[in-house]
Amino acid sequence: MTWAIEAPDIDDLTREALKLLRLESDQLYAVLGCQLLASAPPTRAADIVAHLFDLRTANKLKNRNRWPESEFCTDERTDEIAMICNILKADGDRFVDALREELRKGLRNEDVLSLADHVDESKMQILIMIVSAILKVPARFETISATLAAMLCKSILKEVCR
């Protein structure tokens, strides 16, 4: 049996990108960082997964022992979650920085940038296809293009392009 990552359908990508518009910019960078884990060294993902399992184990222990929240050190757990989010956000930020010039060249056109204003499904599809063409990513990784298209609509990438 072979397993392959399927290329996403443009309609599915569009719906996903439109859902991302509700997120804040730092959250979008973290989403992008999560997506980039697929191409990162396995230990990069393993470190994050280990932190998440540690948090889950600590939570189970808290529930089993019926510890009051104060004894559970919720601030410490919150700090660990924030650390994971910051790692992922930094990965997304580095990715955008590394592609800044390519994105600027491909997106620095008022017609393209105006698509990001008052975006609807058809405009989002066009933006995803433009970003995919700029990135030259294999079809199975076009989900990254959908995230970047959503970032463009949130003005994050507009700042990069000007």
Residue of 106, 107, 123 whose CA lies nearest to 115? 123
Please report whether residue 2 resides in a domain: no
Please report whether residue 74 resides in a domain: yes
pTM of the model: 0.81
Q: What is the pLDDT, as a whole number, of residue 65?
A: 53
Q: What is the pLDDT, as a whole number, of residue 73?
A: 52
Alpha helices in 66-115 (DSSP H): 69-72, 74-98, 100-107, 110-115
Q: What share of the chain is helix, strand, coil (3-state, %, to 5)?
A: 80, 0, 20
Taking the C-alpha atoms of residue 98 and residue 29, their distance in angstroms, rounded to an integer, is: 14
Taking the C-alpha atoms of residue 47 and residue 32, their distance in angstroms, rounded to an integer, is: 17
Let me know how long the chain is: 162
Q: What is the pLDDT, as a whole number, of residue 51?
A: 77
Q: What is the pLDDT, as a whole number, of residue 71?
A: 47
Taking the C-alpha atoms of residue 90 and residue 112, their distance in angstroms, rounded to an integer, is: 27
Contact 28, 151 (CB under 8 A): yes
Please report whether residue 5 resides in a domain: no
Give the helix/strand (H/E) hosting 141: none
Please report whether residue 3 resides in a domain: no
Q: What is the pLDDT, as a whole number, of residue 72?
A: 46
User: Residue 15: which domain range?
Assistant: 10-161
Q: What are 103-153's pLDDT values in tens digits?
A: 888 888 888 888 888 899 999 999 999 999 999 988 888 899 999 999 988
pLDDT class for 22, splitting at 50, 70, 90? very high
Please report whether residue 54 resides in a domain: yes
Q: How many domains does the chain have?
A: 1
Q: What are 30-68's pLDDT values in tens digits?
A: 999 999 988 888 888 888 888 778 776 665 555 555 555
Taking the C-alpha atoms of residue 1 and residue 141, their distance in angstroms, rounded to an integer, is: 22
Q: What are 71-99's pLDDT values in tens digits?
A: 445 556 677 788 889 999 999 999 999 99
